[in-house]
Amino acid sequence: ARATCERAALRSKSSDGQRGGAAARKEREVLASAAVGCLHTLWAPAADAVDAALANGRIETAGVELLAASVKRCMVNPPESAEAVAAAAGTVGDALWALYSVGGVRVQPCLALGRMLNALAALACRNVAVESPEVYERTWQAWCDLAALLGATPALVASCGGAAGKATLLYVLQGMRYAERKLSVGSVSRSCAFWGNLDTLFYEAEATALSPSRRRVKLFPTYALESAVADSNTGGAGEGRRGGGGGVGVPAALGSQLPKSTPRNVKAGVERGEGHGPRKEFFVLAGADMAKAQPAGCGRRGSGGPCLPALFEHVRSAGYHWPNRSIEQQQRTKELREAYIAAGWLLGQALHNRAQVSLRLPGALCAQLLPGCKQHSTYEPTLKDLEEFDPAAARSIRAAAALPPKEWRAMLELEELPRKLTHEQYVARSVRSVLVRSVAWQVEALRAGFAAAVDAQAMIDMRFSGEELAEALCGASAADVEALDLRKAFRLVVDTQLQGGGASEALGDALWSTVGSWSAPMKRKFLVFVTGSDRLPAPGAELLKVEMPFVALGAADLREQMGMLPQAHTCENILELPDYYAGVCKLEGLSGASA
């Protein structure tokens, strides 16, 4: 580890101010990868100890102090091992920081460190209600104790902590600095989650910009039944009752019309129940809403004046969302700017609420939201940034820069560019035109809202890159979901009867065999059903509970249970199963091998 890092640091220092060509960059990337591999080897036993301490449902009762305690126990033999690990990690960390901050290398996350940070997230974020700063202080202290044992300095975590790990630490750090408050978003229409609550979102963005102490918010949405929304929008019977912040009206009389069979969480035209599932669903719905034009009759401008255009467009060639470039000059109204500010504020609140939006934002856009990028002149995108966002545009610019001298001069004259413009200057100018100037006014408004929601110093402390911020806000891709075993995405707490040796082990095997065989779209539907969101958490950062709470007192109860579908409580990621296996065995008289 030490030898690798000495080479890495030497290469970084020699390139200070001039990062060299592709070959030098490739060498730095190889050295960084080797250094991260060293860290993983050093910390893998500690990550294993943490996972073992939280296994078999113990995570439900464990405290954050367990992290450092379990790591300390695994480092007692030989006695000097803890000091050796911390010292070696410190050596690696110094070199990685040099590569990251000076050498310009995108360091890959350390898997072992990520596992421990995700364990911290699972422990710290179990309570979905509003917490006090003292709770977050205890969590931060538990992390500091663990980091000291590992030798994980702030610079090292900034280098290879990964997007999910940094987002967890940002969540805890801001919880220490700002008192959380509850924001109820009432009667949300699933078809108009962002536009229908634009008043509330912009008001909060404006208020937190004026009073930063209010920026830490946990959202608690309640959802209107779509039948109630349709009734209220067409002037149905009963006087409309409006949800907080411009939510869609719900007829007060609807509550008395609900049938007796209405589920317990559906009363008076809204779905009841608070928790992380409804919160995550709101951010997913709002993100999708931002990529659609404001529907007629939805939100504050629905009753008069033109509806606002979509805030983001989907760039098919890149697979990303980008601020809408088709907005005409006459459409750039005060109301549209306020909508972009509200969208930026909601993106910042996604970090506070441990939620993700259903947009695919590129790093080139998120880099312009980061603190320190207050003026467009401070962000200098590269051709590589453009390649990741829009490969076709990057190829066109590269082809133009490679023109022979005669054609080059003709192109400069045609585009009315200075004749002395160099090829490098042309590339920089063209890239900047696509990624910065074409969306300057939208990004300025997004940044204003984002800055109102997120503590700039905390973001600076975590050293987020644009790519890391995009991953924290948007989550995994569809390909990641299809390839991933969902049992590894969550920390499972499974009913003992479904585990190995349990009375209904066969039912547990059937469940995971079925879910594992599904395509990515089906897995996303399962995620929505159980968690309220189709976005995957970082592996091991959330719990998923599988329970069998139903008890059959006789043959009639048993037959009724056999006709029940699985149920879910998205508030706490709980999947409830009737014991189909025991039911079939009893009703069919099966046992042993035949069962």
User: Which residues are catalytic, by number?
Assistant: 571
Number of C-beta neighbours around residue 407 at 10 A: 11
Task: Tell me the CA distances in angstroms from 273 to 128, 131, 395, one per residue in order.
Answer: 12, 19, 51
Q: Closest Cα partner for 526 from 541, 540, 511, 539?
A: 511
Classify 308 as helix, strand or coil.
coil
Classify 571 as helix, strand or coil.
coil
Q: Closest Cα partner for 262 from 222, 225, 235, 231?
A: 225
Q: What is the rounded CA–CA span in Å between residue 474 and residue 350?
A: 9
At residue 544, φ and ψ (nearest 5 deg) are: -135, 120
365 in Cβ contact with 466 (< 8 Å): yes
Beta-sheet strands, E only, within 312-378: 312-315, 320-323
Q: What is the rounded CA–CA span in Å between residue 218 and residue 185?
A: 10
Place of tokens 């033109």: 306
Q: Which amino acid is at 217?
A: V
Q: What is the rounded CA–CA span in Å between residue 353 and residue 204?
A: 15
Please name the helix (run of DSSP H) or strand (run of DSSP E) that holds residue 57, with its range, or none. none
Q: Which two tokens stand for residue 114?
A: 């990520």
Q: What is the rounded CA–CA span in Å between residue 400 and residue 436?
A: 20
Number of C-beta neighbours around residue 331 at 10 A: 13
351 in Cβ contact with 473 (< 8 Å): yes
Q: What is the rounded CA–CA span in Å between residue 486 and residue 495?
A: 17
Task: Tell me the CA distances in angstroms from 58 to 54, 307, 541, 593, one per residue in order.
Answer: 5, 52, 15, 33
302 in Cβ contact with 239 (< 8 Å): no
Q: Closest Cα partner for 113 from 50, 185, 57?
A: 50
Classify 16 as helix, strand or coil.
coil
- CA-based end-to-end distance of the chain: 55
CA dihedral 559, 565, 569, 570 (to 10 degrees): 170
Quote the DSSP letter at residue 415: T
* DSSP string of 457-518, one letter each residue: HHHHHHT--HHHHHHHHH---HHHHHHS-HHHHSEEEE-GGGSTTSTTHHHHHHHHHHHHTS
Task: Tell me the CA distances in angstroms from 400 to 407, 408, 415, 428, 430, one per residue in order.
Answer: 9, 8, 12, 12, 10
